[in-house]
């Protein structure tokens, strides 16, 4: 499910929309998702935000319904500077997110397992910091490979 072409390091973006559009465009170019995918993710994010606090480190896991997906994959952006995403727990709260995992899951039954796998990643703060600091896609892939994401 991990495609190195969908890992973006030091992404410069001002808004959560820009991050989602950038990763979504990469997914669309490789035909992982349908044309409707990015707008569907943005719509869902506006009503059901996906920012998560991991101690004092913040991640986001934007996603949408499987009918906008051709093949399952995950896009990852390590942001050059934090971007505001609203909290999943308290939607009024804005979080300064540093890593964004954009999910495209074709089989709805796999969504729970994928989220469990990501939660294992999120429990490992050293891994999150290493992903944020990765200098090459190869380094990021190596860090994630052992986790079955």
More confidently predicted of 38 and 108: 38
Tokens of 103: 């999910």
Looking at residue 27, its pLDDT comes to 98
Region 120-126 average pLDDT: 87
DSSP state of 50: -
Looking at the predicted structure, is the pLDDT value of residue 146 above 70? Answer: no
Looking at the predicted structure, is the pLDDT value of residue 142 above 90? Answer: no
pTM score, two decimals?
A: 0.93
The CA distance from 16 to 40, in Å, is 14
The CA distance from 39 to 29, in Å, is 15
Looking at residue 111, its pLDDT comes to 85
Query: What domains are there in the chain, each with its CATH number?
Result: 2-146 (3.40.930.10)
DSSP state of 69: B
State the average pLDDT for the chain: 92
Radius of gyration of the chain from its Cα atoms, rounded to whole angstroms: 14
Region 84-90 average pLDDT: 96
Looking at residue 117, its pLDDT comes to 85
- Backbone φ, ψ for residue 64 (5° rounding): -155, -175
Looking at residue 95, its pLDDT comes to 98
Beta bridge partners of residue 100, listed in sequence order: 60, 77
Q: Which residues, at least 6 apart from 147, have a Cβ–Cβ distance to it below 8 Å?
A: 117, 120, 121, 127
Looking at residue 2, its pLDDT comes to 76
Region 39-45 average pLDDT: 98
Region 42-58 average pLDDT: 94
Looking at residue 114, its pLDDT comes to 87
Question: Beta-strand (E) ranges in the chain?
Answer: 2-11, 51-54, 57-60, 73-86, 94-104
């Amino acid at each position: 499910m991990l495609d190195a072409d969908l890992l973006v390091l030091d992404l410069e973006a001002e808004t959560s929309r820009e991050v989602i559009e950038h990763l979504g465009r990469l997914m669309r170019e490789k035909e992982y998702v349908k044309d409707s995918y990015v707008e569907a993710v943005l719509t869902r994010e506006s009503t059901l935000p996906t920012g998560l606090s991991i101690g004092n480190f913040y991640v986001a896991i934007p996603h949408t319904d499987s009918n906008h997906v051709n093949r399952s994959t995950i896009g990852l952006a390590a942001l050059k500077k934090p971007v505001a995403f609203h909290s999943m727990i308290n939607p009024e709260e804005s979080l300064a997110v540093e890593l964004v995992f954009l999910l495209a899951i074709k089989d709805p039954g796999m969504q729970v397992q994928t989220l469990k796998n990501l939660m294992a990643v999120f429990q490992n703060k050293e891994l999150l910091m290493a992903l944020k600091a990765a200098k090459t896609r190869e380094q990021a892939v190596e860090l994630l490979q052992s986790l079955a994401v």
